Amino acid sequence: MGLFQLLIRRCLQLVPILIGISIVVFALVRLTPGDPARLLVGPRVAEEVLVEIRQRYGLDQPLPIQYARYVGQLIIGDLGHSFRYKIPVSQLIFNHLPPTLFLVCYAIVLTLIPTLILATVAARRQGQWPDHVIRVIGVAGMTMPVFWLGIMMSRLFGVSLGWFPVSGYGEGFVDHLHHLFLPAVSTAIWVTPILVRNLRSALLEEMDSDYVLAARSKGLPEGYIFRRHILGNSLLPTLHLLGVLVAYLLGGTVIVETVYAVPGLGQLMINSVLARDYFVIQGLTLYFALATVLVTFAVDVATAAIDPRVKL
């Protein structure tokens, strides 16, 4: 099957998912108590003003009609307007996308080399002390609450030592690297152990496989076998997991962004939930779903490209 056809099929599969998600989010958001109008203009406003605002945004209409209108907008590609900022949701998402994207890529880059090294060491020294140490540190990293780590690190590296800014995104590439270092490390600390664990068991499995035994019986040096055969074949499942993690991260940087004040999508999401900015919440959720599906697709394609045995 051609790549293009596959893409089309995936997109068609996406339609019911997006419809389902839009209904669930719409219902959730509208049934959440809290009046966006009051949150919009502050506490001391007159009741008439609130009524007028609700009318202006059509919030006084019955829910099915509101939903129908929303879907009508979606079909022509319009995610609606933010109540608070009076600008299109798509533009708002677009503005907040770069910091989150940068952060996710940064975290992944910081993850890759330690993952390779640690997993290799753990697999080759399986059952010995390096393996145990890597395991314990890894588990600790995985269960360490990101917000707690964030507080501790920003206090130590940001304030006490002054090495890194404790917040924001900065201007320009180098400044981004500088600003997002602590948030990226905080993220990498729990992503790396997950990947290490996965890669380690894949490596062990390959080390036991017949062709490795065959190579070994031919007297090839262990290091050579490892680099030439085992490592390459073990990377595929890890790559797949990496894809899943990236998809998760695109919607899961809320806490890191909160602790380090990164103006990304996670912050936008939490602020919009608090402010009941309906269209932003709905738009963001659809975006996250779309991103998840696309990343998964990209990983599938990449897997197929690397390994001819995998069929799409």
Partner 1 sequence: MKAIGRSLLALAVCITMFGAAAMAQTTIRMATPYKATVLDPTKSAAAGEIELFGQLYARLLRRSADGKLEPGLAESWEVSDDGKKFVFRLREAKFSDGSPLTAADVAFSLSRALGEGSAYPAPFSAIESVEAEDERTVVVNLKAPAAPFLGYMEIFNAGIVSKADVEARGPEKAFTENPVTSGPFMVKEWKPNDRLILERNPHYWRTGHPKVDQVALIEVADTNTRIAMLQGGEIDVARDAPFAQVGELDASDKIDVPLHPSTVIYMTLLNHGRAPFNDIRVRQAAAHALDVSALTKAVTHGHATPANTTLPEALLFHHKDYPGISQDVAKAKALLAEAGAPQGEAVIMVTAGSVLSEQLAVLIQAQWAAVGLKSKIEKVDVGLWWDRLTTGDYDAAPSWWYNETEDPDLAARWALCGACGNKSFYTNYNNETVNQLTEQALNEIDPEKRKALYIRMQEISTEEVSQIPLYYPPYTNAYSTRVKGLMLSPALQWNFEDAEIVE
Partner 2 sequence: MEQVTGQGQASFARAPGLLLLGGAIVLAYILLAILAGSVSGYDPDIIDLNQLLQPPSALHWFGTDHLGRDVFSRVIHGARIDLYIGFAGVIAPLLIGTLVGLVSGFFGGPLDALMMRLVDLTVAFPFFVLVLAIVAALGPGVESYFIALACVGWVTYARIIRAEVLVIRSRDYIAAARTLGLHPLYILIRHVLPNAISPVAVYVMTDIALIIVFGASLGFLGMGSQPPTAEWGVMIADGQTYISSAWWICFFPGVAIVLLGLGFSFLGDGLASLLRAGR
Footprint of partner 1 on this chain (CB under 8 A)?
Answer: 32-36, 38-49, 52, 82, 84-87, 92, 95-96, 113-114, 117, 151, 154-155, 158-159, 162-170, 174-175, 177-178, 181, 258-261, 263, 267-268, 271, 273-276
Question: Is residue 75 close enough to count as binding partner 2 by CB under 8 A?
Answer: no
Binding pattern for the stretch 20-59 against partner 2, x by CB under 8 A and - elsewhere = xx--xx--xx-xxx--------------------------
List residues bridging with 88 in a β-sheet.
Answer: 81
Q: Are 78 and 88 in contact (CB under 8 A)?
A: yes
Q: What is the dihedral of CA 146, 148, 154, 159, to 10 degrees?
A: 180
Interface residue with partner 2, options 37, 134, 207, 242 (CB under 8 A): 207
Interface residue with partner 2, options 164, 181, 279, 288 (CB under 8 A): 288
**Taking CB within 5 to 8 Å according to partner kind, which of partner 1, partner 2, none is near residue 261?**
partner 1
Q: What are phi and psi of 88, to 5 degrees?
A: -60, 145
Q: 276 — alpha (psi -120 to 50), left (phi > 0) or beta? A: left
Burial 155-181 (b: 16+ CB within 10 A, else e): eebbeeeeebbbbebeeeeeebeebbb
Question: Is residue 125 close enough to count as binding partner 2 by CB under 8 A?
Answer: yes
Question: Is residue 140 close enough to count as binding partner 2 by CB under 8 A?
Answer: yes
How far, in whole angstroms, is CA 215 from its chain's centroid? 40
Q: Hey, what are 252's tokens?
A: 């899961």
Closest by Cα among 268, 298, 263 to 98: 263
CB of 175 to partner 1, least distance (A): 7
Closer of 38 and 54 to partner 1 (Cβ): 38
CB of 78 to partner 1, least distance (A): 16
Q: Interface with partner 2 by CB under 8 A: which range of 58-66, 102-110, 119-127, 171-179?
A: 119-127
Question: Is residue 89 close enough to count as binding partner 2 by CB under 8 A?
Answer: no
Q: Interface with partner 2 by CB under 8 A: which range of 55-63, 169-177, 232-240, 283-291?
A: 283-291
Q: Interface with partner 2 by CB under 8 A: which range of 37-45, 88-96, 106-114, 249-257?
A: 249-257
Distances (CA, A) of 167 to 74, 124, 227, 264: 35, 40, 41, 12
CA distance 309 to 83: 51
Closer of 149 and 180 to partner 2 (Cβ): 149
Which residue type sits at 227? R
CA distance 244 to 239: 9
- DSSP type of residue 61: S
Question: Is residue 16 close enough to count as binding partner 2 by CB under 8 A?
Answer: yes
Closer of 145 and 232 to partner 2 (Cβ): 145
Question: Is residue 11 close enough to count as binding partner 2 by CB under 8 A?
Answer: no
Closer of 2 and 33 to partner 2 (Cβ): 33
Sign of CA dihedral 249, 252, 257, 259: negative
Q: Hey, what are 248's tokens?
A: 């998760």
CB of 211 to partner 1, least distance (A): 31
CA distance 166 to 182: 8
Cα angle at 292 between 178 and 108, to 5 degrees? 30
**Taking CB within 5 to 8 Å according to partner kind, which of partner 1, partner 2, none is near residue 39?**
partner 1
Q: Are 89 and 280 in contact (CB under 8 A)?
A: yes
Residues binding partner 2 (CB under 8 A): 13, 16-17, 20-21, 24-25, 28-29, 31-33, 124-128, 135-136, 139-140, 142-149, 151-152, 155, 159, 204, 207-208, 222, 248, 250-252, 254-255, 258, 269-270, 273-274, 281, 284-285, 288-289, 292-293
